[in-house]
Structure 1
Amino acid sequence: MKNTHIKTSLKTLGLISILTLSQTSCSDLLKENVISNISNDYIATTAGYNAAANAAYTTLRSFYGTERGISMSEYGTDIYSAGADGSYKGFHFYDSQLVGSVDILSQLWDETYKGINACNAVIERSSAVTGISDAVKKQRVGEMQYLRAHYYFILVQQFGPLDLRLKETLGPTKTATRTPEADVYKQIVSDLLAAIPVLESKAAASDYGRATKAAAENLLAKVYLTRASSKFAEASDYANAATLCNNVINNYGFKLLPDFASVFLQGSGEKNSEVIFSVQYTSDPLTNGASADQGNKLHLYFGMQYDVQAGMVRDIFYGRPFKRLKPTPYLLEKVFADRVNDSRYKKTFRDTWLSNSPGTYSNLFDGSKKSLTFKANDTTIYIPGYEMPLAERAKKPYQVLTPSMYNYALFPTLQKFFDPLRPDRTYENGSRDYIVHRLADTYLMLAEANLKLGKVAEATNAINMVRVRAAWPGKESAMTVAQDQVNMDLIMEERARELAGEQTRWMDLKRWNNLVARVKQYNTDAANGVADRHLVRPIPQKQVDLSENGGFPQNPGY
């Protein structure tokens, strides 16, 4: 079993305080019971306070590792376009389907504000809690400040000006106003600056999963980096981001793993020297939260339709393929062009399937042969990643899927999130943790900040740390770039190579102020629909409708 501890579930909302409480399931986790019909004073007790603080983490699972999160972070970018199936294609196409009535918009909005309110409640009520030392209370308040900042950072990137609530909401209200983005960012920065001094450098083994000083510094670095390219940037943003990235890299013992693929090993591999902060999942559905958010579901969305091909049926190992996200030609042909020196193409995409349904088949997409016979574990499908000639394909005792045959159902399959520990082949709720902050991302943020500061040598050193780690053995020198090669184009491509699928790309493009341009250039599905208004999402329509006196207008263009 993974040594994971902050695995909370959102079971009951207090009718007065909208306060969330938690439970956990495994014997080595924090011990909290499911509480229902609670009194409003329960949080003032030791048990209630601890439960409320733990439960504030639950909202992370409404965005990370979910369909709504992937829809708002990878769909409709320069590296991913629409696959054959799936809901929420408005986020791919930027068309009339992207409106305020889409349910995942209101779900993210509601769940994130619940998390914010839980943070507010713990922060405000800490002074009245007895039976807990001041040191522990300071630590918990710091965690809540990290979480509140994190939740507002998700919301402000997605929606723009927000209802900025810093006090516990004790009852229903229709009063809401839109606070300017600049002020929301100031509050995010303020929360993180307050949290950093009181948080532990690293969580103790018994408390793995809690926010730490390193996690807060890493988040604040990304906040500064994001604000630095905005209309309300402050002159010190890039320098502050670089300082914080250096702190995270140098002060806490984090190290890049020697092998890129090892970062995504399931089970014990999820807790490693590269992970700065992760969202905790488990195989227990009650612990994972509400039904819509049970489990890390990213294993579902990147798979191609292997399960109707010759020699194959759906199984647990190869996954349940929802065919939602198809890599763009730009990602495959430009970003991952170097496969001789760089191991990340091979380690990012699955290219081989072995037969789990032996027999003779004639239903072939590869027209170089009329039929094929497979024994168990014979290769049935191979994706070479280049246009293998017909005569060469004809000699292979399996189907060869070349780029000219890629379509909305057949394409290279991202394998970072596969979850073969699911109990059966149809089960959707994965148990693997979701990595939010990892060290390779920190190095790439450092490279970006230093490049913007004109510190090209420092930027080069940072980017080379990531590139050399990704090299095939013996190819390290070939993966090293010189200072005159380091520019924003390289950083944009390097982030795609390293972080493809990891819920970063849409926010990256927005930060670089080139979302529209790059989608038009590299994503043929979305090129005709994307426009400047899509730099923010539509506000959930019910939020607009329920706010008194027009206090919360819809974003322009929706």
Structure 2
Amino acid sequence: MKKNIFILFIGLVVYMTSCVDDLNVVPIDPDEETAETVFTDVESYKQVLAKIYGGLALTGQQGPAGQGDIAGIDEGFSSYLRQYYYHQELTTDEAVIAWNDQTIKDFHNHDWGANDVFIRGMYSRIYYQIVLINEFLRQSSTDKLAERGITDVETIANFRAEARFLRALSYWHALDLFGDIPFVTEEDNVGAFLPRQASREEVFEYVESELLAIEEQMIAPMSNEFARADRAAVWSLLAKLYLNAEVYTGTGMYTECITYCNKVINAGYTLHPDFQEMFLADNQDVGEFIFRVAFDGQNTQSFGGTTFIIHAAVGGDMSASAFGIDGGWAGLRTTSAFVNKFDDISGDSDSRALFFTEGQSLEIADLSTFTDGYAVSKWKNITSGGQPGSDLTFTDTDFPIFRLADIYLMYAEAVLRGGSGGTTSEALGYVNALRERAYGDASGNIAQDGLTLDFILDERARELAWECHRRTDLIRFGVFTSADYVWPWKGGIQEGRATDNKYLLFPIPASDIAANPNLEQNPGY
């Protein structure tokens, strides 16, 4: 299956010097490529923008491996989306992993430190994106366009707005994961440069201001090329930023969250009628997705992304061919705490209960044993017609960063937390729309008195499992480290336990702390 896909692998590389010391970013030889030879016309700017989008899916200058962007880490591990999954899912009740790769089990045990290779991989991938985008913005300034005789400034302006959105997305990930972080923009000097550390509140304000500045510059919702961001993606990120504002700044902004949820809801997106179809190989036509990372087995080959999610979730008695792949990696499962959020795990009532249980135990006695813990069958490289994707190793299944169901649940939560601009009756309607899709009828609907914050947290798990929201959700609800909610192997023991509040943030990698005297480590590390 071929997709009309904007995010394609391109051989183009750009000479860019890292603004962040010791990020282990692989440099490009300036004798091979310079800005003057790369940025020659509108199409070349579009190709560099494609490289930036591709940074969310790909890992280097050729697929699936070789000439990696990030040195010092296995290229398959260095994938932006794979690393983000590790941080957002393996630290929670939604996912455990059987492998013994370096420090990977420390994530579920809440026992990571500043020398963790996976944390450094996520940090480096975020800043690699930021460095690329900063240079793209420098090279697309009005003065640079005039120097190069490029007159289609409107098209370039659209590209710049998209690049700023992608930078805002990475800075949001950075402030959410790391708190006070190094801060660089296109206004900073290129070359030997040690960035200052910005507070979480300052980065929050910057991301907010960037998104507000580009809101009207972005292409209208559902009007851009496939897998490119539009105005609704900006609204969705603003809504997410505002929903978590109390965590980031100490001040709730739930009214603002509702405002931007409403903009997305009124933009014309619709719920896809079949839940499982959203996570199959032909999900490129799912109208519920607002912004996605696109994957194509022929053109976006890496060992991260949905290739990782699908392969790693298959093992034991599971049939690899039923998942459209040439073999499982026997890694990912889930905990009983997540399974128990469903009254019926068969999927016959709630179609979101997508578990493989044959030969699998509910409880996890040994994290390293794949058959300990139910497997999750949500993601597949199979089309809705039952055919495998275009490649049995590298998947065609796109990954939604934002989709309408998340917006509905954010709206409902913000209303319950006291935000203005929405009503509890509308919130109930949005939640029940999700449950009617899941149940196939109104049998799973809840009444108004059932719409509580505790219900929303569990409903977000049922609806959005393995979509990289869970850690942020648990922190927002105050239960990520607390004894109020524990899950198997939280804190490194089978029954689970409370963990140190320092794990609400990941540490700045020790290598960056050592290299940059402007940086202070997060408390406890």
Verify same fold: TM over 0.5: yes
CA distance in 1, matches of 2:47, 2:18: 14
Is 1:536 equivalent to 2:505 in the alignment?
Answer: yes
Is 1:75 equivalent to 2:90 in the alignment?
Answer: yes
Alpha-carbon offset, residue 209 of structure 1: 1.4
Query: In the alignment, which residue of structure 2 is the partner of 1:371?
Result: none
Q: Does structure 2 retain, via aligned residues, the 8 Å contact 1:341–1:478?
A: no
CA distance in 2, matches of 1:220, 1:321: 37
- CA 1:333–1:199 in 2, change beyond 3 Å: closer, same or farther? same
CA distance in 2, matches of 1:49, 1:424: 30
Query: In the alignment, which residue of structure 2 is the partner of 1:349?
Result: 355
Alpha-carbon offset, residue 345 of structure 1: 4.4
Aligned ranges 1:145-156 → 2 under 5 Å: 145-156=164-175
User: Residue deviations 1:354-388, cap 9 Å, x none?
Assistant: xxxxxxxxxxxxxxxxxxxxxxxxxxxxx4xxxxx
Any idea what SS the aligned residue of 1:437 has? strand
Q: Aligned to 2:50, which of 54, 60, 63?
A: 54
1:201 maps to amino acid: A
Alpha-carbon offset, residue 417 of structure 1: 2.1
CA distance in 2, matches of 1:423, 1:401: 30
| Cα-Cα RMSD | 3.1
User: Residue deviations 1:127-155, cap 9 Å, x none?
Assistant: 13243423212211210121111000111
Query: In the alignment, which residue of structure 2 is the partner of 1:466?
Result: 434
CA distance in 2, matches of 1:443, 1:181: 27
- Structure ID, larger Rg: 1
User: Residue deviations 1:335-354, cap 9 Å, x none?
Assistant: 455768742344x2245xxx
User: Residue deviations 1:420-446, cap 9 Å, x none?
Assistant: 546887x4x433221111111111111
CA distance in 1, matches of 2:116, 2:259: 40
Moved more, 114-123 or 142-151: 114-123
Query: In the alignment, which residue of structure 2 is the partner of 1:481?
Result: 446
Query: In the alignment, which residue of structure 2 is the partner of 1:38?
Result: 33
User: Residue deviations 1:40-74, cap 9 Å, x none?
Assistant: 22336434322222222123226877432221010
Q: Aligned to 1:94, which of 110, 118, 122?
A: 110
User: Residue deviations 1:209-235, cap 9 Å, x none?
Assistant: 11100111111100110113444325x
- Calculate the TM-score normalised by the size of structure 2: 0.81
Q: Paired residues, what number?
A: 474
Alpha-carbon offset, residue 301 of structure 1: 2.6
1:70 maps to amino acid: Y
2:117 maps to amino acid: D
Q: Does structure 2 retain, via aligned residues, the 8 Å contact 1:448–1:491?
A: yes
Query: What is the identity percentage for the equivalent residue pairs of Structure 1 and Structure 2?
Result: 24
Q: Does structure 2 retain, via aligned residues, the 8 Å contact 1:296–1:434?
A: no
Alpha-carbon offset, residue 462 of structure 1: 2.0
1:260 maps to amino acid: F
Q: Aligned to 1:255, which of 252, 270, 281?
A: 270
CA distance in 1, matches of 2:347, 2:165: 41
Q: Does structure 1 retain, via aligned residues, the 8 Å contact 2:55–2:80?
A: no
Is 1:409 equivalent to 2:424 in the alignment?
Answer: no
CA distance in 2, matches of 1:277, 1:303: 27
CA distance in 1, matches of 2:4, 2:245: 35
Query: In the alignment, which residue of structure 2 is the partner of 1:327?
Result: 334
* Structure 2 spans left out of the alignment, 5+ residues: 20-29, 60-77, 383-387
- CA 1:135–1:145 in 2, change beyond 3 Å: closer, same or farther? same
1:210 maps to amino acid: R
1:466 maps to amino acid: L
- Calculate the TM-score normalised by the size of structure 1: 0.77
Any idea what SS the aligned residue of 2:254 has? helix
Alpha-carbon offset, residue 118 of structure 1: 2.3
- CA 1:313–1:54 in 2, change beyond 3 Å: closer, same or farther? closer
Q: Aligned to 1:178, which of 197, 213, 221?
A: 197
2:121 maps to amino acid: Q
CA distance in 1, matches of 2:325, 2:15: 42
Any idea what SS the aligned residue of 1:470 has? helix
CA distance in 2, matches of 1:431, 1:91: 28
Any idea what SS the aligned residue of 1:278 has? strand
* Structure 1 spans left out of the alignment, 5+ residues: 19-34, 352-382, 384-399
- CA 1:406–1:462 in 2, change beyond 3 Å: closer, same or farther? farther
Query: In the alignment, which residue of structure 1 is the partner of 2:416?
Result: 451
- CA 1:401–1:141 in 2, change beyond 3 Å: closer, same or farther? closer
